[in-house]
Structure 1
């Protein structure tokens, strides 16, 4: 049974009128009006130079720390290998990359509204009516019991973006995708610095362990000397007890140090996507810190704004917030939708006749007359959110300056403290040697020698701790300076789209942009950590 009239349609005239109206609306839609305020990044006044003093040691060039692989400036092959493995398999970093992909897809979903939305419909059915249906008299009714229906149709709807609401929403989400990319870079830099700092701390414990080994050997000798003097009746048993107490206390402290080192190894293993039980870093038996410091040139304060991914993220949030104002403004203007639909329908399976055609062309305009302040509140909120992002941007910039100043101050002062502590160690070792020689010769009591030994051990451990803190401060300074990153590495808005309008392949794993993203690899689930360092 057909749902359309069998009358002839005045098709040319109606189609012409509808097409003319549609073309006119399309022309107007192409000349849209951007209601977002003109966006300019914030400008700040800041000092011309840095107050802190940078590291003055080691002749390695400053350019090394401005590279993306900034940790290679320490010239440690083990650290280089650990960083490479971490960047390849760290699950937190890969999750951040997936978050960026999702942000790109949200932007693509928003942009899709700029295109006509086209749908198709097909329907075929065979139907039987009931003889006992209402108002049906089998003796007088001539209606058919059996009937069939077939229909094919298509429809297209399109929203002319007169007021740039869709475009500004698309720009907003592209900016937010850039924020996600900057957050990925921040997470990457944070993980790189965390791994480097943990590795520096581990090597510092290796140096402290070597100091304990050296001191324990010395303390054993002291126990032997005091025992021999007691056996010869020229020394007191009290001296032996004091020497033994010093020895066993140092051995206990060394055991605690070994436990701390293992905890650091476990932390590094997790960063490398490895179960701690299958990971180990061979210790270095050296009483000196194995990692030296590097020379760092912080550059000018103005360049810091281009080298920190967190600053780039805050700036992109400002840009997105400005686009949200345009979206809120567009709500005050009519919401217009164009739709076209048509097809064929017949009671049988013969659709060739033009009389079986149906079509519809419509233009809809919606303008809320009164909303009780809804749109004005949304616009006011958008302006407030924009100002909030401006304040947050300024806060991030100030925190960045603080990080750099702290790093410069710490590296400079810790270098001075290291030099002074080295002199303290030398003086303590001289005192230890002299007091032990005097005690052995019977010219002094053992208490003086014991105090000198304790002072020497404490001074040597403090020297290693200062060296470790200085290298860790340089790691923090490199991180504060952006770790070789710059804003040019942020993907542009044109690179945000994950696929084109007519692309239907490669959707599972989109191509990486700005080095962010990759397909899952088999080694991602291999937590054995067979590699030894």
Structure 2
């Protein structure tokens, strides 16, 4: 076992040397997080110019955006759908699978930091031709004798190992880039979750809005049918003409003609929600077909601090992670210019007879370093470096655009939410007035003071106002959903933040070297 005792310290020394050299330096630029350049107090500019409605919590307050924003609508049906979509949505499953792929790619990159080993075993039966190598020996033996090599067998199990010393940080930069790509994939999954939850809320609110319009239309149809009966009765008594009867009947049919379109919208919205929850068409009809009020908006909406938008919105975080990966790839390209040093080794036994295979004297090994220096490559390395630098510049521009788009989205949704609230207030006043006009018109018509056209106009005005008010109420709630989505909340409770994957350090290799030393003793 003396040879084995000699080999073990040598292998351990090589591994220890590699573990110390592997952490020397990492060439290329170190990543520094960019400044998102978001305002510190107000999305709309300086505090003195910011316009904040009474329904919004001031932007600069310490109150953060609500991570469970759907609960603010106080609608159990909406809360149930949003909670269920995270576990069943197909787009989210796809995003989760892509994240897993990134995790495995990171594992492939990390494997390059450790030695590779392969076990081999071979057996061969050989016979040399008498007119080959043995013929050379015939010239050395006395005349009349021949130099013959009989058939023989050789048994040769071996173990080969190779390890690239990561002196310049080539592998470490690859791992850094893989970690950043994994982080980007995680943020893309969170971004998909926010989009899916917002789509569920938007479709649900629109469904309740359509059902509200159906209810309004049914009430108006009933009212129009009452007016039709009244005109028919008056015509039978000679108090009006058939023209009023036909106008009243036409109004009834006009209102009934709107019903199929609303029912179709109801069906499509139920099916859209079913698709989001990975359900076949119509599967949620039993749950959603019964009309319920449009989910009301809360009295106050916390916006949080604008400068925190870069931390809350996954799309911004993903763009930053991609910028990090592009920066690390520059380091990988720079490291290609430096010499590549590998430690190669092989240990095994060889014998012509199997009974001698495991004797100490059957041991054979070889090991030593190999160095590769780039001398001429036709400009490949320079072009690769320039490419990586251009990709980093593109990633930086993409990050800036993502932040700017997010800022614009918040400001635009704030404006839409505020203006739609003002419009809804005016429409409510219009409906109140139109309802009173219809009451007065019917009364005057019954008393013979006015003609039937006045009643029809009042009825049409009321129906149009009620439908616009219902649509505006729907828009206010969907605008609030868009605002919550723009603020980037909702993923925290489902996909919480995870610590970044730890990069392999040289200490991991030192641990491996220690384990090999113990095994060889």
Output the TM-score relative to the length of structure 1: 0.83
Asked if 1:233 is matched to 2:256, the reply is: no
Q: CA RMSD in A?
A: 3.2
Cα offset, 1:24, TM superposition: 8.2
Equivalent position SS for 1:306: helix
Q: Do the aligned partners of residues 348 and 55 (structure 1) sit closer, same or farther apart at CA in structure 2, a change above 3 Å counting? A: farther
Does structure 2 conserve the Cα–Cα contact (< 8 Å) formed by 1:291 and 1:471? yes
Cα offset, 1:353, TM superposition: 3.7
Does structure 2 conserve the Cα–Cα contact (< 8 Å) formed by 1:65 and 1:484? no
Does structure 1 conserve the Cα–Cα contact (< 8 Å) formed by 2:29 and 2:331? yes
Equivalent position SS for 1:115: coil
Distance of 2:211 and 2:360 partners within structure 1: 89
Match of 2:34 among 31, 42, 61: 42
Q: Do the aligned partners of residues 442 and 377 (structure 1) sit closer, same or farther apart at CA in structure 2, a change above 3 Å counting? A: same
The answer for the alignment partner of 2:386 in structure 1 is 380
**Ranges in structure 2 where 5+ consecutive residues have no aligned partner:** 45-49, 136-144, 510-521
Instruction: For residues 461-519 of structure 1, give each alpha carbon's deviation from its aligned partner in whole angstroms, at most 9, with x where no partner exists.
Output: 0000000000000001011111145799433323699xxx99xxxxxxxxxxxxxxxxx
Q: Which moved more, 1:18-27 or 1:344-353?
A: 18-27
The answer for the alignment partner of 1:468 in structure 2 is 474
Equivalent position SS for 1:493: coil
Structure-to-structure mapping, 1:97-136, within 5 angstroms = 97-125=96-124, 127=125
Q: Do the aligned partners of residues 13 and 107 (structure 1) sit closer, same or farther apart at CA in structure 2, a change above 3 Å counting? A: closer
Match of 1:492 among 499, 509, 513: 499
Does structure 2 conserve the Cα–Cα contact (< 8 Å) formed by 1:404 and 1:480? yes
Structure-to-structure mapping, 1:69-468, within 5 angstroms = 69-125=68-124, 127=125, 142-145=148-151, 147-280=152-285, 281-285=287-291, 289-349=294-354, 350-468=356-474
Distance of 1:133 and 1:238 partners within structure 2: 124
Distance of 2:118 and 2:390 partners within structure 1: 40
Does structure 1 conserve the Cα–Cα contact (< 8 Å) formed by 2:102 and 2:178? yes
Cα offset, 1:68, TM superposition: 3.3
Equivalent position SS for 2:455: helix
Cα offset, 1:370, TM superposition: 1.4
Does structure 2 conserve the Cα–Cα contact (< 8 Å) formed by 1:407 and 1:477? yes
Q: Do the aligned partners of residues 453 and 417 (structure 1) sit closer, same or farther apart at CA in structure 2, a change above 3 Å counting? A: same
Distance of 2:311 and 2:12 partners within structure 1: 51
Distance of 1:333 and 1:136 partners within structure 2: 49
The answer for the alignment partner of 1:32 in structure 2 is 24
Equivalent position SS for 1:114: coil
Does structure 1 conserve the Cα–Cα contact (< 8 Å) formed by 2:29 and 2:330? yes
Output the TM-score relative to the length of structure 2: 0.85
Q: Do the aligned partners of residues 330 and 202 (structure 1) sit closer, same or farther apart at CA in structure 2, a change above 3 Å counting? A: same
Equivalent position SS for 1:435: helix
Does structure 1 conserve the Cα–Cα contact (< 8 Å) formed by 2:56 and 2:300? yes
Equivalent position SS for 1:407: helix
Cα offset, 1:310, TM superposition: 0.5
Distance of 2:386 and 2:52 partners within structure 1: 46
Does structure 2 conserve the Cα–Cα contact (< 8 Å) formed by 1:306 and 1:486? no
Distance of 1:27 and 1:266 partners within structure 2: 59
The answer for the alignment partner of 2:140 in structure 1 is none
Equivalent position SS for 1:66: coil
Q: Do the aligned partners of residues 164 and 491 (structure 1) sit closer, same or farther apart at CA in structure 2, a change above 3 Å counting? A: same
Distance of 1:73 and 1:65 partners within structure 2: 14
Q: Do the aligned partners of residues 294 and 496 (structure 1) sit closer, same or farther apart at CA in structure 2, a change above 3 Å counting? A: farther
Does structure 2 conserve the Cα–Cα contact (< 8 Å) formed by 1:181 and 1:491? no
Name the structure where helix makes up a greater proportion of residues.
2
Cα offset, 1:253, TM superposition: 0.5
Q: Do the aligned partners of residues 275 and 142 (structure 1) sit closer, same or farther apart at CA in structure 2, a change above 3 Å counting? A: same
Cα offset, 1:31, TM superposition: 4.1
Does structure 2 conserve the Cα–Cα contact (< 8 Å) formed by 1:58 and 1:293? no
The answer for the alignment partner of 1:478 in structure 2 is 484
Equivalent position SS for 2:31: coil
Q: Do the aligned partners of residues 365 and 457 (structure 1) sit closer, same or farther apart at CA in structure 2, a change above 3 Å counting? A: same
Distance of 1:89 and 1:64 partners within structure 2: 32
Distance of 2:97 and 2:231 partners within structure 1: 66
Distance of 2:114 and 2:476 partners within structure 1: 58
**Ranges in structure 1 where 5+ consecutive residues have no aligned partner:** 1-9, 503-533
Q: Do the aligned partners of residues 495 and 217 (structure 1) sit closer, same or farther apart at CA in structure 2, a change above 3 Å counting? A: farther
Instruction: For residues 367-391 of structure 1, give each alpha carbon's deviation from its aligned partner in whole angstroms, at most 9, with x where no partner exists.
Output: 1211222111111111111111111
Equivalent position SS for 2:312: coil
Q: Which moved more, 1:110-119 or 1:82-91?
A: 82-91
Q: Do the aligned partners of residues 17 and 414 (structure 1) sit closer, same or farther apart at CA in structure 2, a change above 3 Å counting? A: closer
